[in-house]
Structure 1
Amino acid sequence: MFKTVTNEVLDLIGVNETSRILGVSPNTVRRIADSGKLKCIKMSSTGYRKFERSIVEEYKLELYQIEETNNANCKQISLFDFEKEMKKEKMKNITAKAHPAHYLMHKYWGRKPHNVVAEYIENYTDVNDIVLDPFMGSGIVPIEAIKAKRKGIGIDINPMSKFIAENTVSNVDINIYKELANNIISEVSKECDELYKTKCPKCGEYCTAEIAVWDKGYLSRIRFKCKNDGLVLKDADKYDLELIEKIKKNKRSLVYQHKISYPTDKVLKYVKRSGKESIDELFTDRALIILSKLRDRISSVEDDKMKKLLLFTFTSMLANVSNMLPGDLEKVTYKSGWVISKFWTPKIHTERNIFHCFQLRVNAIAKGKHEIEDVDEKLIDLFVQNSNNMKFIEDESVDYIFTDPPYGESIAYLALSQFWNSWLSSDVDYSNEIIIDTYRNKGYEDYSYRMLCTFMEMYRVLKDKHYVSFTFHNRDLQVWKGVMDAVRGAGFILKDVTLQEQAVSSGTQGINKMNTLTGDFVYTLLKDSSIKNNSRPTIKPEESEMYVKKVIANLVKKNNGITPSKLYEYLIPIIVQTQSYLDERGNALDIEKILKDNYDYVEIESGKIGEKYQWVKK
Structure 2
Amino acid sequence: MQMELPRDSIILAKTHPPMYLIHKYWARKPHNVVKAYIEKYTKPGDIVLDPFCGSGVTNAESILAGRNTIGVDINPISILLTQSTITPINIARLDQFFKKMREEITPKIGDFYDITCPSCNKQAIINQLIWINTENDNKNPPKEEIEEIRYHCSQCKKKNHIVDKLKYPQIYAVEKDRVDKISTRFDEYLKRLDLELPDIPLQYQNGSKYKQIRHYIIQNPTATNLFTKRNLIILAILKSTIDELIPKATTDYELKIIRKLLLLTFSANIGQSSKMVWVISNRKNFIQRKKEVGSWTHHFYWNPKSFFEINPALSYFTRASKSLRAQKNLQNRMKHQNIESIHMFEDFDQFNRSTLSNKICLLQQSVENLPLADNSIDYIFTDPPYGDSIQYFELSTLWNKWLDIANDTQETEEIVINSHQKKSNEVYFQKLESGFKECYRVLKNDAFMTITFHNTNVKIRNGLIRSVLNCGFTLNSLVVQMPARNSLKSYLHYDKSPIGDYFLRFQKKPNNPAKKHLNDIQLINIIKKTVKKVLSERNEPTRISFLYNCIDEELALFNSFPLINPSIVEKTLAKMEKENQISISDDFMVGLTVQGMEVKLSLTQKIIEYLDTLDDLKKKTNAEVYNVIYERFNGRNTPDRKQVSKIIEKTIKKINDSGELSD
Shorter chain as normaliser: what TM range? 0.7 to 0.9
* Residue of structure 2 in register with 1:6 after alignment: none
* Residue of structure 1 in register with 2:158 after alignment: 230
Pick from 319, 337, 348: which aligns with 1:361?
Answer: 319
Pick from 363, 387, 393: which aligns with 1:414?
Answer: 393
Amino acid at match of 1:272: I
Partner secondary structure for residue 411 of structure 2: coil
Amino acid at match of 1:446: V
1:168 and 2:85 correspond: yes
* Residue of structure 2 in register with 1:424 after alignment: 403
CA distances 1:457-477 after superposition (whole Å, capped 9, x unpaired): 111000111111111222323
CA distances 1:346-380 after superposition (whole Å, capped 9, x unpaired): 21111112222111111111111112123533111
8 Å CA contact 1:99, 1:503 repeated in 2:
no
Q: Distance in 1 between matches of 2:267 and 2:644?
A: 36
Q: Residues 307-456 of structure 1 correspond to what in structure 2 (within 5 A)? A: 307-327=259-279, 333-373=291-331, 374=334, 376-378=341-343, 379-390=359-370, 392-425=371-404, 426-428=406-408, 429-456=410-437
Amino acid at match of 1:567: L
8 Å CA contact 2:227, 2:274 repeated in 1:
yes
Q: Distance in 1 between matches of 2:525 and 2:397?
A: 44
Amino acid at match of 1:336: G
1:497 and 2:478 correspond: yes
Q: Distance in 1 between matches of 2:85 and 2:115?
A: 38
Q: Distance in 1 between matches of 2:309 and 2:172?
A: 17
Pick from 1, 14, 33: which aligns with 1:97?
Answer: 14
Amino acid at match of 1:356: L
Are residues 594 and 603 of structure 1, via their aligned partners in 2, closer, same or farther at CA, if it must alter by over 3 Å? closer
8 Å CA contact 2:530, 2:550 repeated in 1:
no
8 Å CA contact 2:552, 2:562 repeated in 1:
no
Are residues 444 and 603 of structure 1, via their aligned partners in 2, closer, same or farther at CA, if it must alter by over 3 Å? closer
Q: Distance in 1 between matches of 2:471 and 2:481?
A: 25
Q: Residues 218-617 of structure 1 correspond to what in structure 2 (within 5 A)? A: 218-226=145-153, 227-228=155-156, 230-231=158-159, 232-234=161-163, 235=165, 237-255=172-190, 259-266=195-202, 269-276=210-217, 277-300=221-244, 301-302=246-247, 303-327=255-279, 333-373=291-331, 374=334, 376-378=341-343, 379-390=359-370, 392-425=371-404, 426-428=406-408, 429-502=410-483, 515=493, 517-534=498-515, 537-539=517-519, 561-574=541-554, 577-579=559-561, 581-583=563-565, 589=567, 600-602=585-587
8 Å CA contact 1:539, 1:578 repeated in 2:
no
User: What's the % identity of the aligned pairs?
Assistant: 28
8 Å CA contact 2:198, 2:402 repeated in 1:
yes
Q: Distance in 1 between matches of 2:424 and 2:181?
A: 48
Higher RCO structure (Cα 8 Å, ≥6 apart): 2
* Residue of structure 1 in register with 2:601 after alignment: none
Following superposition, the deviation at residue 560 of structure 1 comes to 5.5
Q: Distance in 2 between matches of 1:436 and 1:347?
A: 29
Are residues 579 and 114 of structure 1, via their aligned partners in 2, closer, same or farther at CA, if it must alter by over 3 Å? closer
* Residue of structure 1 in register with 2:351 after alignment: none
Following superposition, the deviation at residue 579 of structure 1 comes to 4.2
Following superposition, the deviation at residue 413 of structure 1 comes to 2.3
Following superposition, the deviation at residue 280 of structure 1 comes to 2.0
Q: Distance in 1 between matches of 2:560 and 2:260?
A: 49
Q: Distance in 2 between matches of 1:596 and 1:421?
A: 50
Q: Distance in 1 between matches of 2:66 and 2:158?
A: 52
> Which consecutive unaligned segments of at least 5 residues does structure 2 have?
134-143, 166-170, 204-208, 248-254, 282-287, 344-358, 578-583, 590-603, 605-638, 646-663
Following superposition, the deviation at residue 107 of structure 1 comes to 1.0
CA distances 1:433-489 after superposition (whole Å, capped 9, x unpaired): 222222322222112111211111111000111111111222323212322222221
CA distances 1:218-271 after superposition (whole Å, capped 9, x unpaired): 222101134248354123621110010111123222446763313432155321
Q: Distance in 2 between matches of 1:182 and 1:537?
A: 65
Q: Distance in 1 between matches of 2:114 and 2:481?
A: 50
Q: Residues 116-195 of structure 1 correspond to what in structure 2 (within 5 A)? A: 116-195=33-112
8 Å CA contact 1:130, 1:399 repeated in 2:
yes
CA distances 1:544-587 after superposition (whole Å, capped 9, x unpaired): 9978986897589756543254133213334554246344xxxx
**TM-score with structure 2 length normalisation?**
0.71
8 Å CA contact 1:287, 1:321 repeated in 2:
yes
Q: Residues 34-73 of structure 1 correspond to what in structure 2 (within 5 A)? A: none
Pick from 110, 114, 133: which aligns with 1:197?
Answer: 114
Amino acid at match of 1:405: P
Partner secondary structure for residue 431 of structure 1: helix
Q: Distance in 2 between matches of 1:162 and 1:460?
A: 23
8 Å CA contact 2:385, 2:415 repeated in 1:
yes
Following superposition, the deviation at residue 122 of structure 1 comes to 1.1
> Which consecutive unaligned segments of at least 5 residues does structure 1 have?
1-83, 613-618
Are residues 202 and 386 of structure 1, via their aligned partners in 2, closer, same or farther at CA, if it must alter by over 3 Å? same
Q: Distance in 2 between matches of 1:285 and 1:197?
A: 16
Q: Distance in 2 between matches of 1:243 and 1:555?
A: 70
Are residues 456 and 243 of structure 1, via their aligned partners in 2, closer, same or farther at CA, if it must alter by over 3 Å? same
8 Å CA contact 2:385, 2:416 repeated in 1:
yes
Instruction: Report how many aligned residue pairs link the two structures.
Output: 518
Q: Distance in 2 between matches of 1:546 and 1:255?
A: 69
Are residues 437 and 92 of structure 1, via their aligned partners in 2, closer, same or farther at CA, if it must alter by over 3 Å? same
Q: Distance in 1 between matches of 2:432 and 2:202?
A: 28
Following superposition, the deviation at residue 88 of structure 1 comes to 2.4
Following superposition, the deviation at residue 204 of structure 1 comes to 4.3
Amino acid at match of 1:571: I
Amino acid at match of 2:273: V
Q: Distance in 1 between matches of 2:482 and 2:456?
A: 16
8 Å CA contact 1:126, 1:150 repeated in 2:
yes
CA distances 1:139-172 after superposition (whole Å, capped 9, x unpaired): 1111111111111100111111101100011232
8 Å CA contact 2:195, 2:240 repeated in 1:
no
8 Å CA contact 1:213, 1:328 repeated in 2:
no
Are residues 333 and 87 of structure 1, via their aligned partners in 2, closer, same or farther at CA, if it must alter by over 3 Å? farther
Partner secondary structure for residue 164 of structure 1: helix
CA distances 1:372-397 after superposition (whole Å, capped 9, x unpaired): 1235331111111111111x111100
Amino acid at match of 1:245: D
* Residue of structure 2 in register with 1:52 after alignment: none
Following superposition, the deviation at residue 202 of structure 1 comes to 4.4
Are residues 283 and 389 of structure 1, via their aligned partners in 2, closer, same or farther at CA, if it must alter by over 3 Å? same
Q: Distance in 1 between matches of 2:26 and 2:391?
A: 10
8 Å CA contact 1:518, 1:610 repeated in 2:
no
8 Å CA contact 1:497, 1:521 repeated in 2:
yes
Q: Distance in 2 between matches of 1:596 and 1:262?
A: 57
